[in-house]
Amino acid sequence: MGNQISKRRRHDSNSSTSSTLTVSDSLQNGSSLSTNVFKFTQEFYPHSPTEATRQQGEHYLLKHIFQSSHFAPVDDILNKPDSKALDIGCGAHASWILDMANDFPNCTFSGFDIIEPFSLGSDTILSTHIPKNCQLIQHDVYEEFPYNDKTFDFVHQRGMQLVYPIDRMADMFHQILRVTKDGGWIEFVELDIVPKRAGPIFTKINSAVKTLLRDTIGKTMEGSSMAKRMEEIGLLDVTSDYGSLPVCWGGYVGKLVYEDMLVIFKHIGPVVYEYLELGGEYNPEAYEALLDSAFDECVEYQTFFNSQWIYGRKPPTEGENGSALLSPTRKKKKDIQI
């Protein structure tokens, strides 16, 4: 399996599902969930030099595996003057959006994250590397996106599988559809959080992480289910595929995946430790010894994760069958002019 790319799958969005865009709102317990996610995000992705290096390395690792930073057929669109793209959950160090903004200088890229990107100016050296066509803000994904309706030609989201519980996905799609132009493209790249061919120790650690996620924000979305959900809400030309990320084996890629995962596991050690049933208070030495055993096991079992990518196209507001897109129901906040 390794880092081989499977055959692309094209989903026939018109055969069994309507192109009607029907997305209901899901706003229960929004403020408490947002608080939990902010705390949880800081634990998983702290604003630190180590995490900055990890995020940048992960971006170029995925770019190497997929041989691209994006999958939707948007090159011609993004090369046009006045085109606009959005990155949801860009991360504190915004690696994807900075790379794309350099590749497509005619396009204006906007990105937001619940953690302040680059501390918005306090990281002076880092801020000087932000391209002029790149706009980054701090914003909570559970609040209404601060952009006008039908603003973006391309909306991208990656690595948010640890942020969205399943019962908030309807609201996520609601906001994404609202800010996407008619005929615009929507793309997700999400890691399956359940490993393949995992041994007992690695399985134990990942089960503990899943339980921590469930207790913190609820059952999270899976990348493998996104294509079906995109078809259900009426997106057209839905296409998906995946790449496999070997852990600790498979040459240089496996080494990079190991280094990426090790940093994250160390970030969350103090909060996931109690779920591992090791007894007593957090013991860094015992925890790191468990991690070493788990990663050694990955070589023996040839463990890997699948990273899913999915894209689809938004039909006209009235729908290609005459149906209307639901209007947002939340209180309107001041929009950011792009």
The pLDDT profile of the chain, 338 residues, written as one tens digit per residue, is: 334 434 345 554 443 333 345 444 333 444 455 555 556 666 677 777 788 788 889 999 999 999 999 999 999 999 999 999 999 999 878 899 999 999 999 999 999 998 887 764 555 545 567 899 999 999 988 899 999 999 999 999 998 877 777 888 889 999 999 999 999 999 999 988 889 999 999 999 999 999 998 888 888 777 778 889 999 999 999 999 999 999 999 999 999 999 999 999 999 999 999 999 888 999 999 999 999 999 999 999 999 999 999 999 999 875 444 333 433 333 344 455 55
> Closest by alpha carbon to 298, among 199, 200, 196, 194?
199
What is the structure's pLDDT at 169?
85
What is the structure's pLDDT at 148?
97
Tally the residues of the chain: 338
List, in sequence order, every residue forming a beta bridge with 190; answer none if it has no partner.
Answer: 308
What is the structure's pLDDT at 214?
86
pTM over 0.85: no
Could you count the other beta carbons within 10 Å of the beta carbon of residue 320? 13
What is the structure's pLDDT at 34?
53
- Please name the residues in contact with 238: beta carbons below 8 A apart, sequence gap of 6 or more: 10, 11, 13, 227, 230, 231, 310, 311, 312
The Cα 119–Cα 93 span in angstroms is 9
Cα 58 to its chain centre, rounded Å, is 12
Query: 49-66 and 252-267 helices cross at what angle (nearest 10)?
Result: 150
